[in-house]
Chain A
Amino acid sequence: MLSDSAFPRLTAANHEITSAPDVGYNCIAWAAGDSARWWQPGFFWPLEVPRHECGIGALEAAFQTLGFEECSDGTLEAGFEKVALYGAGLMYTHAARQLPDGAWTSKLGKAEDIRHDAPDDIAGGVYGEVVEFMRRRIS
């Protein structure tokens, strides 16, 4: 179990660690289905943005290029996959991806991947709060 002030809402019951730590990819890459790169403006990003861009808008635009569009919430919807975008202030901090059973998966920075019950489980600390949900149709 992760017990850290970074995640005040995580409990032993609402998450499990699913990988070893890996500095090679981050949550944005993981939410996009890529575990080989660290997604960051100035490093790798799916569209052209200035390297200093770190706002929620840049993250939203990145997922739009992958076919996602804004949706109202993180409930499981047949035929769609969803991501939750997190921010603190104007800065994006994290993205989580919904699993087919409705649970969520997150890569925690340079640390482990976890499976967690709900997007809010990892909010309230280092990632701030969920600021947007996006979905795309599963082909």
Chain B
Amino acid sequence: MSNAAVTLELSDQFAKLASEWKSLTRYMSNSTQMATVWPYQQIIGLGQPAIPFILRELERETDHWFWALEAISGENPVSAEQAGDVDAMAQAWLDWGRQKCLI
């Protein structure tokens, strides 16, 4: 399978899992509960190749992708002052992704 085909397959897989996760967690307020939902665990299981897709989705629509990004990357660019401010947390991760040329 070509690299382009692998990327397309991963893109489709991520889009399906992200849609399922958003639907299942729409009413959840506990981020731990959100992160234990099966599609989210599957996205974390995709590993490093999923990060650009997560960042592009975060750029498109702010949502709670922070724990997945941290779990996969082992990094956390969110400062103590930004923590809890969802827009600021999203921006910190997008800035991190741009610095690493991931988006």
Report which A residues bind B (CB closer than 8 A): 4, 6-7, 23-28, 36-44, 52, 54, 91-95, 107-111, 126-127
Interface residues in B62-86 (C-beta closer than 8 Å to A): 62-64, 66, 83-86
- Cβ B31 vs Cβ A27 within 8 A: no
User: Total interface residues on B, using CB and 8 Å?
Assistant: 19
B12 lies within 8 A of chain A by Cβ: no
- Cβ A54 vs Cβ B84 within 8 A: no
Report the nearest A residue to B78, measured CB to CB.
A43
Bound CA–CA A91/B86 (angstroms) = 22
Q: How far is the CB of A4 from chain B (nearest CB, A)?
A: 8
- Cβ A23 vs Cβ B32 within 8 A: no
- Cβ B62 vs Cβ A93 within 8 A: no
> How many contacting A-B pairs (Cβ < 8 A)?
74
Chain B hits for A25, CB < 8 A: 86
Report the nearest B residue to A37, measured CB to CB.
B84
Q: How far is the CB of B87 from chain A (nearest CB, A)?
A: 6
- Cβ B33 vs Cβ A93 within 8 A: yes
Q: How far is the CB of B67 from chain A (nearest CB, A)?
A: 8
B19 lies within 8 A of chain A by Cβ: no
Q: Using an 8 Å CB-CB cutoff, how does the interface string of B8-43 with A read, 1 for contact, 0 for none? A: 000000000000000001111111110000000000
Question: When the two chains form the complex, which single residue of B26, B62, B85 contacts A109, counting CB atoms closer than 8 Å?
Answer: B26
- Cβ A109 vs Cβ B29 within 8 A: yes
Question: When the two chains form the complex, which single residue of B29, B32, B63 contacts A26, counting CB atoms closer than 8 Å?
Answer: B29
- Cβ B28 vs Cβ A126 within 8 A: yes
Chain A hits for B33, CB < 8 A: 54, 91, 93
Bound CA–CA A95/B87 (angstroms) = 22
Bound CA–CA A25/B62 (angstroms) = 12
Can you identify 15 A-B contacts, CB atoms within 8 angstroms?
A: A7-B27, A23-B64, A25-B86, A36-B85, A37-B86, A38-B86, A41-B32, A42-B83, A43-B66, A43-B89, A91-B33, A93-B30, A107-B29, A108-B29, A109-B28
